[in-house]
Amino acid sequence: MDIDERVEYALAHTEVIRSPRQKLATFGVTSVYYHLVTEPVYSESTGEARETVIRDGRVIAEQPKIVTPTYLTRLEGFGESARRYVDRLAAEYPHTPGLFYSYRNEPKNLVIVSDSPEAVIYRLNEKIDDDKFVFVPPEGVTKVDMRD
């Protein structure tokens, strides 16, 4: 499987088990803590998932900015099709405002455990439900809620 096929496979087989309670903040920073539970890549060759990879961290959505398509034409790091789309928007609607969110991922831990992904998800959910999982929010963040 090449890298594009792996990405497509991962996207098609990704499932959100628990969605965050909070919504994206319109006038501030949103911080969402996560647990990502996956099978290790090498399980593909063995055909069995006897181990599970757990990654945790947080995704931070910075305070959104009100921007125009013309502003977006100055951004870097997008592919050619995205560039064409933004250029077309800027040509057709140069002064139409929209919200621009920027995201940052802050990975924290990576752990490999000897158990199935289903069992790991069950235990993580129990810990979250029992409030055994406590995060210290970063400076400036006043509320973090991982429970449903």
* Cβ neighbours for 143, distance < 8 A, ≥ 6 positions apart: 22, 137
Residue 143 is predicted with a pLDDT of 43
Q: Where are the domains of the chain?
A: 20-129
| pLDDT tier, 70 (very low <50, low <70, confident <90, very high otherwise) | confident
Q: What is the pTM of this model?
A: 0.65
pLDDT per position as a tens digit, 27-39:
889 999 899 998 8
Mean pLDDT of the chain: 80
Contact 23, 64 (CB under 8 A): no
* Cα end-to-end distance, the chain, whole Å: 37
The helix, strand and coil proportions of the chain, stated in percent and rounded to the nearest 5, come to 30, 25, 45
* Radius of gyration, CA atoms only, the chain: 19
